[in-house]
Chain A
Amino acid sequence: MSFRGVIEIIDRSGLLRSRVRVEHLPFRIGRALDNDLVLDDIYVCPHHAEVREEEALGLFDLNSVNGSFSGLRRAREARIALPSSIDFRLGHSLLRFRAANEVLETTAVDPLATSRLFAVDRFRWAIPALLACAGALLIERVLISPQMLQWGAVASAVVPALLVILLWALAWSMANRLVSHRFHYLGHLSIAALGVLVINIIDAFCGYLGFTLGADGFMSAVSRLLSGVLLATAIYGHLRLISRGSGRRLLVPAAAVAIAFVTLSLLPSASDGNFSSEPKLATSLKPPAAALRQGLDSDTFYTEIERAMDDADAEATEEE
């Protein structure tokens, strides 16, 4: 008999798992071993359905318990016509029929092989990223240490942070393994390390810019926003590695996590119902050479303070 087409078995993330050639008719599908295509799916009958030709090529349900379905439709069908590239479901299995005249790749391609993201899943990304991240954490640590540097102490402060990054990457790899049978540990590690590095850079940059321009409040809001965007990007990257699939639908969960993060970070200052008898004097301070803007004169400066007093007045009268 001649070649009539190919049945592809699709996995949960919508990717091709395996293929089988339909070379004779009828071509029977089911859970029993004597089928042409054996589906080890407990929701599939031993002899569930078969492909045969009655006027046209079709999939015929063999009075199965759970039925056969076309595409994503919910009505069970006794007969499903099989033009090219049609999806059908038996039990919990998703199958796709490819007609004989379709041009198919002889060897299925790993979808990640063509993705640029896949490149980070290499030592040449992961090691430099981790080192750069360690460097950033080290600098941060050194900057806040008032004593002579004891490198042991400095390193011991950085190591826990690095361990957290390594574990974070491991957690994503485990999830990756569950979903798509691969770890991509180096990829997840690169993403995490780069994320921490970039967050540090954003933070430092915004701090300097805030000081230079005398716009602390604005720049810290910008910094928070950028951190949120960065977090969304990192989570998108992790999800993308896991799913290997279309990226667009992953944007939603990534954005949701980032928005949740930004909201949570804003929450303490927004709902500052807790009374504090200590003022919050924090401001950005950098070497004087970085202070490009001229200072306000007394009149202008204390007019601003009068505005703060007006705020205090408003607060005092509104709750009286």
Chain B
Amino acid sequence: MRILLITLAFVSLLPPAWSEEWATEEVFARHKDSVVQIRIIDAQGGAKRSIGSGFLISDDGRLITNFHVVADFVHHPGEHRAEWHTGDGASGPLQLLDVDVVHDLALLQSPDLSGRKFLAVESNLPNMGERIFPLGFPYDLGLTIVEGTYNGLLDKSLYERIHLTASINPGMSGGPAIDRNGNVIGVNVATAGNQVSFVVPSKYVIGLLTRDDAATRGELIGRIGEQLRANQEHYLGELLSTPFVITRLGPFEVPGAIARYVNCWSQTDQSKERLIDRTELSCQSEDDVFISGTLKTGAIRFEHALRSTRKMGAVRFWSLMERGFGSFYGDLGGEKSTMTGFSCSGDFFEHAGTKSKMMVCVRRYREFTDLYDIVQRQIVLDRSDQALQSTLILTGVARERGLGFARRFAESLRRTDATASAAAASEVASPAPPVADSAADGGSASP
């Protein structure tokens, strides 16, 4: 320990011969004119509704920002207008050309900005530890440059993100993260606080630039729907192409961390006063797609709750299960103007000898055809003193993939301890499923 301290002291006394402190000043001086503040103005009130940053990407005045910065303008164009502002007081109106809602990007244009210096985009990723400089207008405080380091792509994320160790703050969203040569390596998008920040890789900016612009708002909304459908097709298709990763939860086998971006947590509660032992396993994908301030989509969440009792009668135990089944904590967001109400359907469900009661509720995105949120909850009915309740929440999925996934999920639950007499009895009582059926599932249950 002492050695380490001495070493630290020694290093700090060294003159910063290899330091690149000059780089920050120069980067700022060279590229400050290419970064603007984006303001979404409330048409009625005349003041700003939301602010973010953006950067010029071509000499005809095109600029990039985050979708979430301009979301209000996309959804309610009549009630808002978009403006750019520079540090020196210049400003002008903006026109929305295109969006990439899945990667939280938007392409805007202002003819007044044409001819201004713009930034080059670098699609190759930097080296680990390389210095990166995010720019933007944090808290409406004027143009700021931050020093940070590149720490690779997030491993556990459904949507590709660069992990940047730097302080990105609200208002910097949509600003560029540039390397020392002034090339954009990504777009500032989010922070987890304490220098943990996230950046959208610039290859998606290039993707956005190579498309034709959307002419009308209807076309834009159509594209958003298309992007969301393609996105769910991509990740659900991938998940469904291989058997689910199965975890044991007490005597049951259940879907667990089914993908690298699905993160699971578990908790056991065995207090004597409660009479019911509970073990919960909850998993969710780490990211979602921002649609509006009240609505996020494109996520998978599920939770398995195993409850058993030794001291409680069956009638009382199941009366409590009934209460638990009916209560749902987890607002899915949205408003009447964007989402339909939930339509629900439920019944007994039986697969491979496991009988359960299942309720499925669905709602649709009003503006996007064939996009739904699905909430599915089932409770296994095989023993009077033990119940496994599993809840699956899929947001922003198309009919075929969504139901395919929900179905696979429901079919994956099963008891493994054949010694349990009640389970054995129920298996005998119900007719054995046809062999062809379980083979056709692609062996979803066992890895």
Interfacial residues, chain A to chain B (CB-CB below 8 A): 142-144, 146-148, 214, 216, 272, 275-289, 291, 293-298, 301-302, 304-309, 311-313, 315-316, 319-320
Which of A287, A307, A319 counts the most chain B CB atoms within 10 A? Answer: A287
Q: Given that A275-B336, A293-B348, A294-B430 are contacting pairs, would A285 and B322 also be in contact in the complex, using a CB cutoff of 8 Å?
A: yes
Which of B274, B317, B321, B364 is close to A312, meaning CB atoms less than 8 Å apart? B364
Q: How many A-B contacts if CB must be within 8 Å?
A: 169
- Chosen A-B contacts, 13 in total, with CB atoms closer than 8 Å, are A146-B275, A216-B346, A277-B333, A277-B334, A279-B332, A280-B342, A280-B361, A281-B328, A281-B375, A286-B318, A288-B383, A294-B348, A307-B345
**Residue of B314, B362, B363 touching A305 (CB-CB under 8 A):** B362
B75 CB to closest chain A CB (Å) equals 15
Set B321, B335, B364: member contacting A315, Cβ < 8 A: B364
| B225-267 near A? 1/0 per residue, CB < 8 Å | 0000000000000000000000000000000000000000000
Interface SS of chain B = mixed
Main secondary structure of the interface of A (DSSP, over half): loop
Residues in A neighbouring B403, C-beta threshold 8 A: 302, 305-306, 309
Interface residue from A282, A284, A294, A315 paired with B340 (Cβ < 8 Å): A315
Determine whether the beta carbon of B360 is less than 8 Å from that of A305. yes
Contacts of A320 in B (CB 8 A): 366
Across the interface, which residues of B come within 8 angstroms of A305, CB to CB? 345, 360, 362, 403, 406
Interface window among B32-40, B57-65, B349-357? B349-357
Task: Known A146-B274, A288-B384; judge A281-B325 contact (CB<8 A).
Answer: yes
Binary contact track B353-384/A, C-beta < 8 Å → 1, others 0: 00111111111111000001001010101111
- Kindly state whether residue B179 has any CB partner on chain A within 8 Å: no
Chain B nearest CB, measured from A97 CB (Å): 65
Given contacts A301-B347, A304-B345, 4 further A-B contacts (CB under 8 A): A277-B335, A277-B339, A287-B318, A295-B350
**B contact residues vs A (CB 8 Å cutoff):** 273-276, 314-323, 325-326, 328, 330-336, 339-351, 355-366, 372, 375, 377, 379, 381-384, 399, 403, 406-407, 410-411, 422, 426, 430, 433, 437
Q: Shortest beta-carbon distance, B425 to chain A, in Å? A: 10
A147 engages B275 (CB within 8 Å): yes
Contacts of A214 in B (CB 8 A): 347-348
Which of A216, A291, A293, A298 has the most C-beta atoms of chain B within 10 angstroms of its own C-beta?
Answer: A298
Within the assembled complex, what's the spacing in Å between the Cα atoms of A64 and B325?
76
CB-CB under 8 A from B330, the residues of chain A are: 278
Shortest beta-carbon distance from B413 to chain A in Å: 12
Which partner residue on chain B sits nearest A311 by CB separation? B343
Q: How far apart are B422's CB and chain A's nearest CB, in angstroms?
A: 8
> Looking at B330, B347, B411, which has the most chain A CB atoms within 10 Å of its CB?
B347
What is the bound-complex CA distance between A268 and B276, given in angstroms? 34
Q: Nearest Cβ distance between residue B11 and chain A, in whole angstroms?
A: 54
In the bound complex, CA of A283 to CA of B324 (Å): 10
**Chain A residue nearest to B384 in the complex (CB):** A287
Q: How many Å from the CB of B370 to the closest CB on chain A?
A: 9
Give chain A nearest CB distance to B49 CB in angstroms.
22
- Given A143-B319, A275-B341 in contact, is the A298-B381 Cβ separation under 8 Å? no
A281 to B372, CA, bound (A): 17
**Assembled-state Cα–Cα distance A184/B32 (Å):** 90
Are A285 and B321 in touch, CB under 8 angstroms? yes
User: Closest Cβ of chain B: how far from A318's Cβ, in Å?
Assistant: 10
Query: A287 to chain B: which residues have CB within 8 Å?
Result: 314-315, 317-318, 384
- Kindly list chain A residues whose C-beta atoms are within 8 Å of the C-beta of B333: 277
B364–A316 CB distance below 8 A? yes
Q: Which of B318, B347, B382 contacts A296 (CB 8 A)?
A: B347
CA distance A311 to B363 in the complex (A): 9
Contact A279-B318, Cβ < 8 Å, known A291-B355, A295-B350, A305-B345: no
Give the docked Cα–Cα distance between A293 and B318 (Å): 17
Name the contact of B349 in the complex, choosing from A148, A282, A301 (C-beta under 8 A).
Answer: A301
Contact B350 A288 (CB under 8 A): no
Asked if residues B411 and A144 are in contact (CB atoms below 8 Å), the reply is no
A248 to B43 Cα, complex, angstroms: 66
Considering the complex, give the chain A residue whose CB is closest to the CB of B441. A298
Closest to B402 in A: A309
- Residues from chain A with a CB closer than 8 A to the CB of B349 are 295-296, 298, 301
B348, A296: Cβ atoms under 8 Å? yes
